Structure 1
């Protein structure tokens, strides 16, 4: 029921007959964190933006953050940095385990949480945080 601007994701190569895999429209806040993320198993993803009538209301489009990750089994080695994963609890009761992504070592301590929502393990124990903590303790 997207009557306004929408973003469609096609997983893999597309043709004029392809059916989109995901569609988002409206405000970012109307989606859960899980509904906003998508992990593809293909090496190609197509995004199509349909502006609709949103330009009449001053909307600016969309923001996209992407990265390449692998989803190794817990027993497989990770050539990069293995995220901690952990759990995400909704309403303090229902907890779901988070995937332990394997990301490039260059993404560790870059100021962006690359391990996914609710997992900041790639940004913990970074030099800048240690310096800030030491400064606060010294003061």
Structure 2
């Protein structure tokens, strides 16, 4: 993951309900606009955040999200960290495969979110929960 410098206090949101997933989308959009991401990049980031927030709720049993504006030597970006204390992901490689689902959906949540952002890092272990960090950089 590329190092970035935080440009302000991170904003944290609990993810415990469907309404919280909506709040996450709104928060990410607000921070992406402030970071001056293009409309296309805002949409990609909000879409990825929505998928990951839904996964945090459904598969992780709820958790938190932390959204911050970062910058490196060349540009600004938005970093989002999703964390839960759920059961973890037993087979990460399989979970990141297009079409794989345990919930009856299209199986594009994790793999789709990974394609929509510039940086994607996932830390998980069975019984240890899951932390996913994504970053979208301005163009």
- TM-score, length basis structure 1: 0.25
Q: Which has the higher helix share?
A: 2
- TM-score, length basis structure 2: 0.25
Rg: which structure is higher?
1
Higher relative contact order (CA 8 A, sep 6+): 2
Q: Which has the higher strand share?
A: 2
